[in-house]
Amino acid sequence: MSAHEAVAALRELGLSNYEARVFVALQRLGGGTAQDVARASEVPRSQVYGAAEDLAARGLVEVVESSPKTYRPVSLQRAREQLRASVERQHERAFDNLEAVHEERADHTDESDVATLRGHDPIQDRAAALVTNADDHVLLVGPRDDDLRDDLVAALEDRTAAGVDVAVVTDDPAVRQRLGADVRVVCSPASGDDGYAGQTLLVDDATVLLSVPADDDYTGPVDEVAMWTANTSIGHILARFVQAGMEAGMDEDVDTDE
């Protein structure tokens, strides 16, 4: 990694441009005066003093009270630990503030709201939340054992125990072993790639989540995409299409656990 790349990486960890350049220069020098650091970092000497003092406040630099002052970097291991702790503190502070904002938010749900999600874990988060709120029935089509997350399994079992009509349709027999004995599991080849792409979740009469694998040509980190709507007018329409599709696809070769 070049010095330029090291500076860029340190800036992503929260250091200012001058702080990062001074710290990289000190690692290269092993220590030096403001003039030495200015030459090595191309930071104006008048700015080196403030950057070095800020680095000292972060626990990344020792200040030797000589004449002139000399600056020495802490070990890389100590710097790693100090920066990790700083990032963690910033993380906690950010999400503490986000939680406070979240509690104050208004409900912006609209009758025609349809939302999109990208990424398997965010989609599983939403699916588990939707199942948790089910009052009457849940239908999950297309899950496989290796991508059925524990919290979604727990939500399906909890709703079954609460008297909600829960049905899971899959072409993977291992799903039956994964779910509690009280959850109705239907094994059907129609729920695989030949019948349905991705997964379909229907909750009550107006909440639908449809997910599909990301396009093979997609080069980003997203492995799955989904759209969902809850308790909306369009949800009623989608739910009817889902139910009609299930009835058409389940006419043959169905094996239940009952």
Cβ–Cβ under 8 Å, residues 61 and 41: no
Q: Which residue has 């970097």 as its token pair? A: 73
Cβ–Cβ under 8 Å, residues 159 and 141: no
Least confident of 18-27, 53-62, 103-112: 103-112
In angstroms, what is the C-alpha Rg of the chain?
28
Q: What residue ranges do the domains of the chain occupy?
A: 3-100, 115-256
Average pLDDT in the chain: 84
Q: pLDDT at position 195, please? A: 42
Say which residue, 193 or 100, is predicted with more confidence.
100
Cβ–Cβ under 8 Å, residues 136 and 165: yes
Nearest to 245 by CA among 93, 141, 146: 141
115-256 shares the fold of 3-100: no
For domain 3-100, the CATH architecture is Orthogonal Bundle (1.10)
The pLDDT tens digits of the residues spanning 39-84 come to 999 999 999 999 999 999 999 999 988 888 899 999 999 999 999 9
- φ, ψ at 183 (rounded to 5°): -80, 125
> In residues, how long is the chain?
258
C-alpha 96: how far from chain center: 17
115-256 has CATH 2.70.210.12 classification: no
Q: Cis peptide before 44, with omega less than 30 degrees from 0? A: no
- Rounded CA gap, 230 and 209, in Å? 8
**Hey, what are 32's tokens?**
């030096």
Q: Cis peptide before 173, with omega less than 30 degrees from 0? A: no
Provide the pairing of β-strand 115-118 with 32-33. Answer: unpaired
Q: DSSP labels for 211-227? A: EEEPPTT--SS--EEEE
Is the four-CA dihedral 210, 214, 216, 217 of positive or negative sign? positive
DSSP annotation of 71 reads E
Examine the pLDDT at 250 and tell me if it is beyond 80.
no
Q: pLDDT at position 253, please? A: 45
